[in-house]
Amino acid sequence: MVRVFHETDSKLGILKDKTIAVIGYGNQGRAQALNLRDSDLRVIIGNQDDKYLEIAKKDGFYTHTIEDAIILADVIFFLIPDEIMKNLYDTKIKQLIKPTTALVFASGYNIGFNLITPPADTDVLLLAPRMIGVGVRENYLNKQGFFSFIGVEQDFTGNALDILLALANGIGTLKKGAIEVTFRQEAELDLFNEQGFGPAFGRVLLSAIYTLIEAGYPPEAVLVELYMSNEMSYTYKKMAEVGLIRQVDFHSQTSQYGAMSRGIKYRKIPLKSIMQEILKNIQDGSFTEEWEKKLTKLKFKVIKFFATKQRINKLEHEVRKNLGLKIFNIYDEEPPTEEEMKKLKNVSEELEQFKKFYE
């Protein structure tokens, strides 16, 4: 059976003489650093000289270069994006790590897929909140806690689990519960959520939008009905609180009957076979191998450019304008250059498919 840990399973006292370095003061870094400090632990920040370093200083932390923070630390939280972590680790960090240091990762990706190999004389720990940084901080302050995935990949000191549980207590997750998984399991679950569930949900939502608009309904009414009203987020919240099926009781009987009686029409859509293929691609390392190639980063730029030109972006822009809502230009991507497209000639047919898909 899976192990789930709570506050009674941890002892914060084992960290009282340790210096905890939080590397990266962004979304998760700031939230976790503040929580650890408010739990009476000694926390320093390692960050490059940018606006986040200035925020850390204003928050009252002792700040250092990343290299100096690594040297000073007994526990190191790696709270920088996965896509830059390997290069930063290889060039600036690995040679500075002291024996018996605890290395803490908020994502299983780099360890789970063997992109980073920590020193053998360290503890390697997973502490991955299932909550954005703002939520990590809010739920610490309101004493509600939040779920996390935790795991021990390497136990050099013999105390790795105790250290991990104390850190989990320090950031506030044990009030809700920490579920034990491996680094690889956390990474695979996260990737599948992004690749298997998210795109399928997106296609369903877009199909519903276009079905209604093509039937003559006002775009403003359609988008408000389907997602701009926040009713969807309320439904998700109730799913988490009472369960996937039980939450239907918060809807009218007309809604319940319609959803249940018509839902059967979707049972034969071949979603599962597609999802199984995506999961296999994640599990066998094919996706990681693909993503780590330099050419893929360029391919991503082109695909993202195509995605920003799809119909829903223009539609949503007009709806937000008509409803007096704030306009966000987050999809204003630079088009790929001719030189970049030449580099991608080997995948030109695949990119043409993306272009047609998003038109």
Question: Is residue 156 domain-shared with residue 146, that is, in the same domain?
Answer: yes
* 288 within domain boundaries: no
Domain of 312, in residue numbers: 293-359
Whether residues 206 and 353 share a domain: the answer is no
Give the angle subtended at the CA of 49 by the CAs of 43 and 54, to the nearest 5°.
60
- One domain, residues 98 and 135: yes
Query: 41 and 190 share a domain?
Result: no
Give the number of other CB atoms < 10 A from CB of residue 112.
Answer: 25
Residue 286 lies in a domain: no
Residues 124 and 105 in one domain: yes
Structure tokens at 99: 């024996």
Largest CA distance in the chain: 67
**Rounded-to-integer distance, Cα 114 and Cα 289, Å:** 11
Last residue of a domain, one of 131, 149, 181: 181
CA nearest neighbour of 98 among 191, 11, 18, 172: 18
Cα 264 → chain centroid: 32
Position 357 scores a pLDDT of: 63
Cβ contacts of 348 within 8 Å, gap of 6 or more = 341
Q: How far apart are CA 306 and CA 310, in angstroms?
A: 7
Kind and range of the H or E run holding 129: strand 123-129
Under 8 Å CB-to-CB from 264, ≥6 apart: which residues? none
Instruction: Answer yes or no: is 326 within a domain.
Output: yes
Helix (H) or strand (E) holding 122: none
Per-residue pLDDT of the chain (359 residues; tens, 9 = 90+): 899 999 999 999 999 999 999 999 999 999 999 999 999 999 999 999 999 999 999 999 999 999 999 999 999 999 999 999 999 999 989 999 999 999 999 999 999 999 999 999 999 999 999 999 999 999 999 999 999 999 999 999 999 999 999 999 999 999 999 999 999 999 999 999 999 999 999 999 999 999 999 999 999 999 999 999 988 888 888 988 889 888 888 888 998 899 889 988 888 888 999 999 999 999 999 999 999 988 888 888 888 888 777 888 888 889 999 999 888 765 566 777 777 777 777 666 666 766 666 66
3-class secondary-structure state, position 149: strand
Residues 93 and 172 grouped into a single domain: yes
Q: Report yes or no on 275 lying in a domain.
A: no
50 and 66 fall within a common domain: yes
* In a shared domain, residues 158 and 25: yes
- Answer yes or no: do 86 and 149 share one domain: yes
What is the pLDDT at residue 138? 95
**Number of compact structural domains in the chain:** 3
DSSP 301: H
Same domain for 188 and 176: no
C-alpha to C-alpha distance for 75 and 122, rounded to whole angstroms? 10
Please state, in angstroms and as integers, the Cα–Cα distance from residue 9 to each residue in 5, 12, 174, 303, following that order: 6, 10, 9, 46
Residues 159 and 226 in one domain: no
Tokens found for residue 314: 């223009």
**Domain's final residue, options 136, 157, 181:** 181
On whether both 50 and 25 belong to a single domain, the answer is: yes
Cβ atoms of 297 and 347 closer than 8 Å: no
Is the residue at 151 inside a domain? yes
Question: Which pLDDT does position 346 carry in this prediction?
Answer: 64
Question: Which of 206, 236, 269 represents a domain boundary (last residue)?
Answer: 269
Asked if the structure places residue 283 within a domain, the reply is no
- 331 falls within a domain: yes
In a domain, 15, yes or no: yes
Which residue carries 């730029």 as its tokens? 301
| Pairing label, strands 123-129, 19-23 | unpaired
Pairing of the two strands 42-46 and 102-105 = unpaired
